[in-house]
Each structure stands twice: as C-alpha cells, then as structure tokens.
C-alpha cells in the first residue's frame, strides 16, 4: 500500500518538477503522504489539493491583475510541451525558481487538503 501510494505520487509529481513547475519539496511531501495513505486515498488528496491550489491561484492572478498574462503563459507552456520543449527555455519566468514567477506555496494546498480529508473522509 505504501509503495503504491508513494509511486503514484512520484509518477504524477516528478514530471512537474522536471519541467520546473514545482519544487522538489512538494514532490517529496506528496510522496510521503502517498506512502502513508496509499494510492486510492492519495488520489483523493491530489484532486483536493489541485482544486484548492487552482482556486487560490486564480484568485491570486486576478487580484494581481495578471489573468491575461497567466492565460498566455498557460498557452506557451502547453505549446512548448506539445513540441517536446521545456517551457522555461522559451520564457525563463516560467521556471518556478525565477524571481519574476508568481508563486503560490503548493504545500499549503496540500496541507489544507490533508486536514479536510482527515476531517471529512472515512479512513
């Protein structure tokens, strides 16, 4: 159970790290959670963290007046990945470690998801 949960987390999060969309800490955090809760429960946590992170990110870019720029970045990222290229090569600000990148700590979304899962899901 632990190996399946950890493996699933690594399978999903490692590519995001490799394209520099998130840091290694987020990958390790989710792999550890996967090892604790197993693959099926991890998938629920992953979806919760993705939705929470998406809503928080949308609010952040709207408040900062960067919605149009962010939608353009999504287009650039998608186009570059479809052509087998790393998005941060075309635009260095698409690297999560670049000072110009607008970041939102994914660890916060993960933590809130774990708390909600513990509170509301039977286990």
Q: Which whole-number Å values give the CA distances from 25 to 10, 13, 29, 46, 100, in the listed order?
A: 12, 10, 6, 15, 20
**Which residues lie closer than 8 Å to 31 by C-beta, 6 or more apart?**
6, 9, 10, 13
Any residues with CB less than 8 A from the CB of 13 and at least 6 apart, and which?
A: 22, 26, 27, 30, 31
Taking residues 43-72, what's their average pLDDT?
Answer: 95
Q: Give me the pLDDT at residue 80, please.
A: 96
**How many residues does the structure list for the chain?**
123
Domain residue extents for the chain: 2-120
pLDDT tens sequence across 96-119: 989 888 788 899 999 999 999 999
More confident residue, 51 or 101: 51
């Amino acid at each position: 159970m632990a190996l399946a949960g950890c493996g699933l987390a690594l399978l999903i999060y490692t590519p995001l790290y490799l394209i520099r969309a998130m840091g290694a800490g987020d990958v390790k955090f989710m792999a550890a959670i996967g090892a604790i809760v197993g693959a099926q429960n991890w998938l629920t946590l992953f979806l919760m963290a993705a939705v929470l992170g998406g809503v928080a990110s949308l609010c952040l870019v709207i408040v900062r007046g960067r919605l149009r720029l962010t939608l353009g970045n999504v287009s650039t990222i998608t186009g570059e990945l479809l052509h087998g290229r790393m998005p941060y090569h075309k635009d260095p600000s698409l690297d999560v470690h670049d000072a110009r990148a607008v970041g939102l700590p994914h660890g916060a979304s993960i933590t809130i998801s774990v708390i909600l899962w513990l509170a509301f899901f039977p286990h």
